[in-house]
């Protein structure tokens, strides 16, 4: 069976590599020649645990190919998976232009019957449109169908999440399409939930937005904990034993970021409004998250006369640990505010520096200055304030005495609840975290 994959971002590349690992002949298509060259050499354009090893193994086995020539990849494929981006538009809706481009390319090149599978997260009803669009532009007399197959991978654990997914969701409108997708996923040995196309599209949003809601709910409760003298980590621990609630995604913090939750909450809110419905729960989740991201900055602002001329240590820039991705990271909102307020920021992140430099180049920015350090110690030395935005293990390991001894004034705002308030206090560190 020949599989083609359109797009080599987190979704497309990981899917392609995992299909090759399961024995399929896979060709991944991307528009960027340079990126394709690197992937042919087994170099991954994204930092993802275990991905390069599998790329190299399957490149060498001759089952994994990369090309910019989509004609070659699509024309005789049995199944084409679409994994291109659906970025957020200014109004919160999903931008479907990449999906449309790929759909048209597929229509104009396929020479045999083919199943087109949409993996990208798309608003409910998009698969119907994709199928119609492809049929409208078909050049050869072939049968084509579109199926929905949303993915649930998280960055940092994408390969594991794909090979050992909790379930595979397939949304089809015909027995043939359902049978083919089930066959493709057979070697994975995972539970398959087979539904209609629109339900599959909705499952993806419903899952992501539910998890986002869970986080915003915990952040809301955490803020209330601060006011009433309760400790959110204890509260979460107490909640976690109830299986109906579940033990995961109960961590209060600086708010969620990344390529999915912020975009998918806004997209569902938009979709509901388009249908004349107000999704109040999701709208509240978006509002809570927006405020949460700068909560610590606001607290620090209340404490300080000025940030101007102060050395501000920033530990962690990525939206979570285990990735080099900064999309929608709370650090971005905070850096903008700190730099505008005249702070001299010294930031450390083990993986995110390169991408951060594209957003905040080193040197004078707005009123303050942006600086990057290659160690936590250099960021902390002589600092007046420290903000913690990402839960990297090496950041977690900093001892209270480390803050006390290195900083000019040991004042720490921790957006990830990494340290013990008691131990920080005992070491003489003025410490603020979330909900404790
Ligand atoms: C998420 C979903 O987990 C995944 O299933 C979906 O396919 C894509 O979106 P990802 O964005 O990679 O994956 O990261 P995730 O680990 O879910 O974290 C998202 C954000 O929520 C991060 O900013 C993280 O720090 C935050 N988060 C997560 C919390 O603040 N508290 C938690 O308890 C969990």
pLDDT in tens, 99-158: 999 999 999 999 999 999 999 999 999 999 999 999 999 999 999 999 999 999 998 899
Nearest ligand 1 atom to the CA of 153 is: 7
Question: Average pLDDT, whole number, for the chain?
Answer: 96
For 365-416, where are the alpha helices, taking DSSP H only?
Answer: 376-380, 393-396, 400-406
Q: Whose CA is nearest to atom 5 of ligand 1?
A: 152
For residues 332 and 240, membership in a common domain is answered with no
Query: How confident is the model over 308-366, as pLDDT tens digits?
Result: 999 999 999 999 998 899 999 999 999 999 999 999 999 999 999 999 999 999 999 88
Residues belonging to the chain: 436
Ligand 1 site, residue 256, Cβ cutoff 6 A = yes
Does ligand 1 lie within 6 Å of residue 199's CB atom?
Answer: no
Kindly report the CATH number assigned to the domain that includes residue 383: 3.40.50.720
Same domain, 81 and 126: yes
Each as own residue / partner, the long-range contacts of residues 276-281 (CB below 8 Å, 24 or more positions apart, any chain) are 281/213
Long-range contacts of 132-139 (CB under 8 A, 24+ apart): 133/100, 133/103, 133/104, 133/107, 134/103, 134/104, 134/106, 134/107, 135/107, 136/107, 137/103, 137/104, 137/107, 137/108, 138/107, 138/108, 138/110, 139/107, 139/108, 139/109
Q: Are residues 253 and 323 in the same domain?
A: no
The SS3 of residue 362 is coil
> Does 184 share its domain with 240?
no
Max distance between CA atoms of the chain, in angstroms, equals 76
Domain-terminating residue out of 253, 268, 292: 292
What's 76-87 look like in SS3? CCCEEEECCCCC
- From the number of C-beta atoms within 10 Å of its C-beta (0-12, 13-18, 19+), residue 45 rates as middle
Q: Are residues 153 and 237 in the same domain?
A: no
End of a domain among 239, 264, 292? 292
pLDDT in tens, the chain (436 residues): 999 999 999 999 999 999 999 999 999 999 999 999 999 999 999 888 899 999 999 999 999 999 999 999 999 999 999 999 998 889 888 899 999 999 999 999 999 999 999 999 999 999 999 999 999 999 999 999 999 999 999 988 999 999 999 999 999 999 999 999 999 999 999 999 999 999 999 999 999 999 999 999 999 999 999 999 999 999 999 999 999 999 999 999 999 999 999 999 999 999 999 999 999 999 999 999 999 999 999 999 999 999 999 999 999 999 999 889 999 999 999 999 999 999 999 999 999 999 999 999 999 988 999 999 999 999 999 999 999 999 999 999 999 999 999 999 999 999 999 999 999 999 999 999 999 9
The CATH number of whichever domain residue 222 belongs to comes to: 1.10.1040.10
Same domain, 76 and 187: yes
Closest ligand 1 atom to 258 CA: 11
| The ligand 1 atom nearest the CA atom of 416 | 30
Residues 128 and 149 in one domain: yes
- Residues 255 and 388 placed together within one structural domain of the fold: no
* Host domain of residue 225: 203-292
Residue at a domain's end among 292, 327, 360: 292
The residues, ordered by sequence, that sit 6+ positions from 275 with a Cβ below 8 Å of its Cβ are: none
- The verdict on 170 and 56 lying in the same domain is yes
The residues that bridge with 371 in the sheet, in sequence order, are 346
* Strands, E assignment, 85-138: 114-118
393 and 259 in a common domain: no
Q: How far is CA 140 from the centre of its chain?
A: 38
Tally the domains of the chain.
Answer: 3
Domain match, 162 and 177 both: yes
Examine the domain organization and report whether 116 and 23 are in the same domain. Answer: yes
Q: How far is the CA of 200 from the centre of ligand 1 (A)?
A: 20
């Amino acid at each position: 069976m020949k599989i083609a994959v359109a797009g080599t971002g987190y979704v497309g590349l990981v899917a392609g590599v995992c299909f090759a690992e399961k024995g399929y002949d896979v060709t991944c298509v991307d528009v960027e020649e340079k990126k394709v060259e690197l992937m042919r050499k087994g170099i991954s354009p994204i930092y993802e645990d275990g991905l390069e090893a599998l790329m190299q193994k399957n490149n060498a086995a001759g089952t994994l190919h990369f090309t910019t020539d989509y004609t070659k990849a699509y024309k005789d494929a049995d199944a084409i998976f679409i994994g291109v981006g659906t970025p957020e538009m200014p109004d919160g809706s999903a931008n479907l232009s990449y999906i449309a481009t790929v759909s048209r390319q597929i229509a104009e090149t396929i020479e045999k019957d083919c199943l087109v599978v949409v993996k990208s997260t798309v608003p409910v009803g998009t698969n119907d449109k994709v199928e119609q669009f492809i049929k409208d532009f078909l050049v050869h007399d072939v049968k084509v169908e579109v199926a929905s197959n949303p993915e649930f991978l998280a960055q940092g654990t994408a390969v594991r999440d794909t090979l050992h997914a909790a379930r595979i969701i397939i949304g089809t409108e015909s027995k043939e399409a359902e049978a083919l997708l089930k066959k493709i996923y057979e070697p994975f040995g995972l539970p398959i939930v087979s539904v209609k196309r629109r339900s599959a599209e909705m499952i993806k949003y419903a899952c992501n937005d539910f998890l986002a809601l869970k986080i915003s709910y915990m952040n809301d409760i955490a803020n209330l904990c601060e006011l009433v003298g309760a400790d959110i980590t204890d509260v979460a621990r107490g909640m976690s034993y109830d299986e109906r609630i579940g033990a995961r995604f109960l961590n209060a913090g600086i708010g969620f970021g990344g390529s999915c939750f912020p975009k998918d909450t806004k997209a569902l809110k938009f979709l509901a409004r388009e249908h004349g419905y107000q999704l109040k729960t999701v709208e509240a989740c978006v509002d809570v998250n927006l405020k949460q991201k700068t909560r610590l900055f606001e607290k620090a602002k209340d404490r300080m006369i000025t940030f101007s001329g102060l050395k501000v240590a920033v530990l962690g820039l990525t939206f979570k640990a285990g990735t080099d991705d900064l999309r929608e990271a709370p650090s971005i909102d905070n850096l903008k505010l700190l730099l505008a307020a005249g702070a001299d920021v010294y930031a450390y992140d083990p993986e995110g520096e390169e991408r951060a430099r594209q957003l905040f180049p080193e040197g004078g920015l707005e009123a303050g200055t942006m600086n990057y350090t290659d160690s936590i110690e250099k960021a902390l030395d002589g600092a007046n304030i420290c903000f913690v935005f990402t839960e990297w293990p090496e950041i977690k390991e900093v001892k209270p005495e480390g803050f006390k001894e290195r900083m000019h004034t040991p004042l720490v705002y921790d957006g990830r609840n990494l340290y013990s308030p008691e131990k920080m206090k005992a070491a003489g560190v003025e410490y603020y975290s979330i909900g404790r």
